[in-house]
Each structure stands twice: as C-alpha cells, then as structure tokens.
Structure 1
C-alpha cells in the first residue's frame, strides 16, 4: 500500500520522537530497529525508507532531543533573565529529571555512549553542547564572554555528571545527596522534588 508524502513525513517524525525517548531510556544499544519501529506503530521493513542506518537515526533523534531541551532552556532564559540559572539547574538536578531519562537531557542519559559512536553522532553531541553552553553563557555572570563560557562549560559538566551518577547508584538517599550537593555547589536552592 502506497503511503502519501504527508503520511511518510508524519511517520518519520514519529520514529525520530519515539527513538529519542527510547534511546534516552534504554541506551543506543538497548533497543533495536525492529522494536523502535514497533514502538512507533510501524513495521520494521519501512525503516530504511526513512534512514540510512541506525546511526543515522541515532544522530537525528539526538539532534531533536538536544534542540527541544535547548529551546526550552532558551525560553526560560528569556522569560526569567537573572533567575533562569537557578530554575534550570534546580529542575535539571531534581528527582523528577533523574527518574524520567526518556524525557530528559540526552547528555546525562547518553553522553558516555555518544563518545563510542561514529563522527555523525559525536558531531550532533558537540553541536548540542554548544547550544546549551550558549544559553548558560547568556545567564551566568562573568566579566567577559570567555569567563561566562568557562562557567557555562563547568556548570554543564557538573550538572550532567551529577545526574548521571545519581542515576547510577542504587541507594536512594545517596542519589538525592548527590543531586543536593551539586545544587548547593552551584549556589542554588535545593530542588522541590
């Protein structure tokens, strides 16, 4: 049965959205193409009509995840100005974010895996990082653009690392302690979880 161009475009968008969520939940190798297509409500056979390879889908799904989160951060920065960093970091370092990797930051969920991927995926993660650092550089204090960028890189690294470690441990109290320590070190109030 022939699919219209509009339906094909909708199917492609659905695959990218579902893959972005499932990759963040299960990892790049934690789900195969057949299961991704099934989760998107499509058959496995149609995959290669949309993507060259699983790596192509990984790159596109990761780019979409970064863009969505970065856009939300940018809107928060525009809306809250000087208060934005505290809000963003508090939300990032929350139990809710820890417990919902499929809807959260791709860096915390997939950063260590991205380093083992091909150039296309690593390039997407580099571009995504530049977007996040750009937003943080706008809202963090500093005497110069270079100083704000250093602070933004350090804050991003600390938030991603803290969230990844908080997800990795099996002790709930320790996990919450990691998140709280990172929030305190970044100079923000404890998150409301």
Structure 2
C-alpha cells in the first residue's frame, strides 16, 4: 500500500478519512490486520487439507498440486497471502507491525510444509517465487513451464532428478 494515501484509499471506496481513523490508528495497522486475517484464512485452508486428505504427507502433496496450478495462478485475489502480501510488505518503509505479522504467517506456513527430515521454508520460498513468476508471465508458455518444473522439483522422490 506504499504509494497510496489514506485519503486516496478512502475516496476510492466512497468513505471518509475520519471513518478510517475511527477504525485504524494508521495505514500500517490496517495492513497488519489484513495480513493477520489472510494468514488466519491460510491456517484454515491448511487444516482443511489435513482433514480432507487423511495424513499430513498426502495433504502436503495436495497443497503443492493446488498451489502450483493454473487455478491458483489465475486467482491472485483469493490466493496465498504469502505471495499476495510480499511485494507490499517489502515496499512499505514503516512496516514493522506488518512485517512481524507477515513473518509469523510465513513461519507458520513453513512449519506446516515441514517434514520430519526437511525444513519447509525452502519449499515455501520456492512455491511463492514460482507463483509470483507464473503470475507475472501468465499467458506465455514460460508461465506454464514455471508451474510444471517447480511442481516436478518439489514432488520428485529424494535422490531422483526431477528433470528425468
């Protein structure tokens, strides 16, 4: 939200600046609350994957399938907050509260992606990078290749070259 003022934001939705400040002390507080709500939704989604797929390893695989799909790529507004908030959080110069909320959400996601033998953070970083690149190149062959090759890399059995 760096680059947009509270006044411009409120004007665009037909509300007053005073109404904003009755709800939030700052734009950063709004961003932090939005990030917290979005990561709460992600927690619910991850729990539903566990419930729907029986065991955590199967749930993790199903999430990778969904995350690296054209469906997820083409719906950024309802997609993962890890990807959705990354750019705005990185650009916000005074995003202390936002960054803390965002970092906690990323850590929780990485913990969910972890296995007994691997840290989930590299998987999350790979998936988020892939979905951002796939969205930025949507409509090209490269976008599909990014999704497919990343999926293969993350789901190949250990010791097997994902390109074989």
User: Helix, strand or coil for the counterpart of 2:85?
Assistant: helix
Partner of 2:65: 90
Partner of 1:115: 90
Q: Give me the whole-angstrom Cα distance separating, in 1, the residues matched to 2:20 and 2:137.
A: 36
- Decide whether the 8 Å contact of 1:77 with 1:135 is kept in 2: no
Partner of 1:177: 145
Q: Does 1:69 align with 2:69?
A: no
Q: Does 1:57 align with 2:30?
A: yes
- Decide whether the 8 Å contact of 2:35 with 2:85 is kept in 1: no
- Decide whether the 8 Å contact of 1:162 with 1:182 is kept in 2: yes
Q: How far is the alpha carbon of 1:41 from its aligned partner?
A: 6.2
For structure 2, list consecutive stretches of 5 or more residues without a partner in the other structure.
157-164
Partner of 2:162: none
Q: Does 1:135 align with 2:112?
A: yes
Partner of 1:19: none
- Decide whether the 8 Å contact of 2:111 with 2:121 is kept in 1: no
Cα RMSD, aligned residues only: 2.2
TM-score in terms of structure 2 length: 0.81
Q: Give me the whole-angstrom Cα distance separating, in 1, the residues matched to 2:25 and 2:90.
A: 21
